[in-house]
Structure 1
Amino acid sequence: MEDVAVNHIRIFPIVAAATSVVVVALPADLRGEDDTMEGKVVLPDQIAWAPGPAALPPGAEAAVLYGNPGEDGLFALRLKLPAGYHIPPHTHPKPEIVTVITGTFRLGMGETADHDGARVLPAGGFLALSPGVAHFAYADDGTVIQLNSTGPWTLTYVNPDDDPRNK
């Protein structure tokens, strides 16, 4: 019985230390602190939309919420895609985390686009892709997604003729 108590005592400082690291890593507004620490809060009416990145087909709008997709480091990018929008098969060199904010987003895997074979992700849907995985996307209706990753963000089309930067 004594060994059990000793083990708990040995484990407790490790658990306490890990918990304090998690609490310190939370944003100030979740810890009840004031807004004086470095960070960023963006309300929906403060999102500044601009034409999407040149790597995407024309028609998308984009808003950088956090960081800089063109530099090293974390970033959060919102993309507003019009109805019928299509991103041909492509890859990224870094993981891509996407959340569907509004609308319907279709994600397909592989080097050949297939609208009907793409998985339908409604608002609230989430996906995480590993680096180098070929995929494609469609927006059936007006759709907003949030893309989180680490920069610099790049996109390489499977077929170079699909790249709008080559036109």
Structure 2
Amino acid sequence: MRIASIFATGLIGLCGMASFASAGGTHTLVTPDDVQWGQAPKVLPTGAEAAVLFGDPSKEGLFALRIKVPAGYAIPPHTHPVHEVVTVMSGTINIGMGETADPSAAKALPAGSFIALPPGTAHFARFDEPTVIQITTIGPWAIKYINPADDPQKSQ
């Protein structure tokens, strides 16, 4: 299985679109009107949008990233090499643990919910309504799909 660096291609340009600061001690303030959405990285299934709020997910260090998905969106089972800390900003994420996307094993987490997954935790997500999640973690961020054929970059 291959680890796909989520920002190796498409999202590096997105970093410049968002308001972000280095870890060098400057502060960052972002209002909802400041969030600038762009195409999500190609390692995610088509249809998502992303906005970097802080840091650079392609580099070592702390970052905050929002991902906006439409109703019917799904992310197949995958893992991350670092802790993943997710807050549901709006909508609902149906998240399940394990290497198989079993909808009956997913738990619906509405806006305001919090998720913290240790490195290597296999999980999947489904969204029945438009949803925005925020990921805050240490980069570089990557996704390793359990089934390499699920990696959207393979079909590009």
Coarse TM-score class (shorter-chain normalised): 0.7 to 0.9
**Structure 2 residue aligned with 1:122:** 110
1:36-115 paired onto structure 2 within 5 Å: 38-115=26-103
Give ranges in structure 2 of 5+ residues lacking alignment. Answer: 1-24
Deviation at 1:99, TM superposition (A): 0.3
Q: Which has the larger radius of gyration?
A: 1
% of aligned pairs identical? 57
| Separation in structure 2 between the aligned mates of residue 81 and residue 115 of structure 1, nearest angstrom | 18
Deviation at 1:53, TM superposition (A): 1.0
Q: Would you tell me which structure has more strand in proportion to its own residues?
A: 2
Are 1:145 and 2:148 matched, yes or no?
Answer: no
Moved beyond 2 Å, runs of 4+: none
Larger deviation, residues 42-51 vs 113-122: 113-122
Give ranges in structure 1 of 5+ residues lacking alignment. Answer: 1-36
Aligned residues: 131
Give the letter aligned to residue 64 of structure 1.
V
Q: Which structure is higher in RCO with an 8 Å CA cutoff and minimum separation 6? A: 2
Larger deviation, residues 110-119 vs 84-93: 110-119
Q: Would you tell me which structure has more helix in proportion to its own residues?
A: 1
The normalised TM-score by structure 2 is 0.82
Deviation at 1:116, TM superposition (A): 2.7
Give the letter aligned to residue 78 of structure 2.
H
The normalised TM-score by structure 1 is 0.77
| Separation in structure 2 between the aligned mates of residue 139 and residue 41 of structure 1, nearest angstrom | 28
| Separation in structure 2 between the aligned mates of residue 77 and residue 99 of structure 1, nearest angstrom | 10
